[in-house]
Amino acid sequence: MSPLQGCLLLSAALFSVGLVIALARSNAILVLLGIELMLNAANLNFIAFWRFHGGTAPATGVIFVLFAIAVAAAEAAVGLALVIALYRHQKNLRLQEATRLRG
């Protein structure tokens, strides 16, 4: 198994752990943490390819990951603000209860 395959399997495993957390949990914050794990897995994938697959523009791979980290941070911030607004409305964080389109 080459190093690239090892890294890709690691990122696939991390992605599926994030997927399981996002699907199985009903607490809104845990779902957001699962999504963050999936984003991290994707970044891991990018860096694995950057390191082990070569290419002609080495800085581009790193820049892609930097952009992905920045966008993930922005998305997490907005998501957690949404969670706070949701909590203020229904006083708990169970996603199953957020079923009404209008409060």
Binding site for another protein (CB under 8 A): 2-10, 12-21, 23-27, 29-30, 32-33, 36-37, 40, 43-44, 47-48, 50-55, 58-63, 65-67, 69-71, 73-78, 80-85, 87-88, 91-93
> Between 76 and 100, whose beta carbon lies closer to another protein?
76
Q: What gap in Å lies between CA 98 and CA 47, rounded to an integer? A: 37
Q: What gap in Å lies between CA 17 and CA 103, rounded to an integer? A: 33
Supply the minimum distance, in Å, between the C-beta of residue 28 and another protein. Answer: 8
> Between 50 and 98, whose beta carbon lies closer to another protein?
50
Q: What gap in Å lies between CA 52 and CA 82, rounded to an integer? A: 39
Supply the minimum distance, in Å, between the C-beta of residue 89 and another protein. Answer: 10
> Between 61 and 98, whose beta carbon lies closer to another protein?
61
> Between 26 and 100, whose beta carbon lies closer to another protein?
26
Which pair of tokens denotes residue 73?
């941070």
Longest Cα–Cα distance in the chain: 54
34 contacts 18 by C-beta, under 8 angstroms:
yes
